[in-house]
Structure 1
Amino acid sequence: MTNIVKQTKYSLIMIGVTIITWGFALPFLPDHIPMQFTYSGEERWGTNKYLAGLFFVSLMLIVYLLGILKPKIDPERAAYSVFKNFYFISIFLTEVLIYIVSVLLALNAMGYDINIQIIIVCSIGFIFLFVGNYLPKIPTNWFVGIRNPWTITNDDVWIKIHRNTGKLYMIIGLVFLVMGMLNVINRPLIVITIIICVLYPHIHSFVMFRKK
């Protein structure tokens, strides 16, 4: 248990920072916090400021708990020792992204003119770059990486798919960063990119497996 806490200390710190931030901000926040917006920038739905803070803290706790439980129930748990740095950094980055979104929504509710889309798109771009850099280093396992019947059962397919997908994610990360920095948020391109990210690894791994 001590080892897990040590490995995930930055994620725990991030959760603590979120609790402190919202605890400090609550007296200054309006009662209603917009949580989602339409393409035109209008509020889609919102909630009470206390529930908003509770939502983000709870979400971070769920991410953290799932993150530390996964290695314990993975049949290939021994593989985690090879890529544990990537795994725990990924959890931390997810916590950071949730924190950034929560702060942006709070500032927006307080009346600050913030382009939330630009910051989120750039943040996602950095995450794509990070994941793309580490994907080729991940060994076969049941919980992290491109997991399907064709990669799990064939090490060669796993290695090639993760190498190729890593390159794709690096390119996508750069595209997102450019869109964010130039303030050119192309929604159709973002949707197409996400579809490619989901479909490409599985289609390619199936084709590669059939050729074996």
Structure 2
Amino acid sequence: MHLLRILSVFIILLTGGIVILVYPYLPDVIPTHWNIHGEVDGTSPVFPGIILIPALMTGITILMMVLPGYDPRWKRYKEFERAYDGLILLLNVFFCLLFLITLLWALGMQVPMNQVIAIIFAILMGGIAFFIRRVKPNWFAGIRTPWTLESETVWKETHERGFRIFLIIALFCLVGALVPEYAYLFILLPVIIGTIYLVVYSYIVWKKEQA
């Protein structure tokens, strides 16, 4: 197992260890959802609420480690293996941070939710940008449209453009941290617009290639 995967497993185990350590100090009900104003609008009993994120981390990690073996293009993963393992690690860091924020709220420490979420989303989008730049054609990871899967040239050009788009999205997320009352707009709108743009862009590149 490579270092990045070992780090992913370590973060999952660390998160599980934190659950064991803090469980006796948690209230019977913990926050599990916040509205666009950064206020708690959803709660859950401490169990199973406390294990939801660690279970999600474990499930996603196992799934992402197993999926390449079922991809007809599985040999291509060797070409971007470190980037793929880095993406798994990035997702685990993201969810671990969400978990820690949840614990702080459960223990009575109300961190500024909108600002914190905007910052960790910026980190996530920036990390995805660098993964996007390195990923090679496959069936499970990357910008998969009918046109990128059809043509390696379209795949390459779309992912090069995707690298820049995701960096722009990350910057918008950081701006959202400066205006927390509108942070959700600076996260959701760039993601939606950027996704639609890349789908359309991949089609345009494919049409040009067919001409």
**Bigger mean CA deviation after superposition, 185-194 or 14-23:** 185-194
Q: Distance in 2 between matches of 1:115 and 1:197?
A: 27
Name stretches of at least 5 consecutive residues in structure 1 with no aligned partner. none
Q: Residue type of the partner of 2:129?
A: G
Task: Verify: 1:91 aligned to 2:88, yes or no.
Answer: yes
Q: Which residue of 1 aligns with 2:159?
A: 162
Q: Which residue of 2 aligns with 1:153?
A: 150
Q: Distance in 2 between matches of 1:192 and 1:163?
A: 21
Q: Distance in 2 between matches of 1:60 and 1:32?
A: 22
Give 1:112's match in structure 2, choosing from 109, 119, 124. Answer: 109
Q: Normalising by structure 2, what TM-score?
A: 0.91
Q: Distance in 2 between matches of 1:79 and 1:86?
A: 12
Q: Which residue of 2 aligns with 1:130?
A: 127
Does structure 2 retain, via aligned residues, the 8 Å contact 1:34–1:43? yes
Does structure 1 retain, via aligned residues, the 8 Å contact 2:68–2:77? yes
Q: Distance in 1 between matches of 2:10 and 2:68?
A: 21
Q: Which residue of 2 aligns with 1:202?
A: 199
SS in 1 for 2:42: strand
- CA-based RMSD of the aligned residues comes to 1.7
Give the drift of 1:131.
Answer: 1.8
The share of aligned pairs that are identical, in percent, is: 25
Does structure 1 retain, via aligned residues, the 8 Å contact 2:118–2:187? no
SS in 1 for 2:159: helix
Name stretches of at least 5 consecutive residues in structure 2 with no aligned partner. none
Q: Normalising by structure 1, what TM-score?
A: 0.91
Q: Which residue of 2 aligns with 1:24?
A: 21
Does structure 2 retain, via aligned residues, the 8 Å contact 1:26–1:50? no
Q: Distance in 1 between matches of 2:90 and 2:196?
A: 24
Q: Which residue of 1 aligns with 2:186?
A: 189
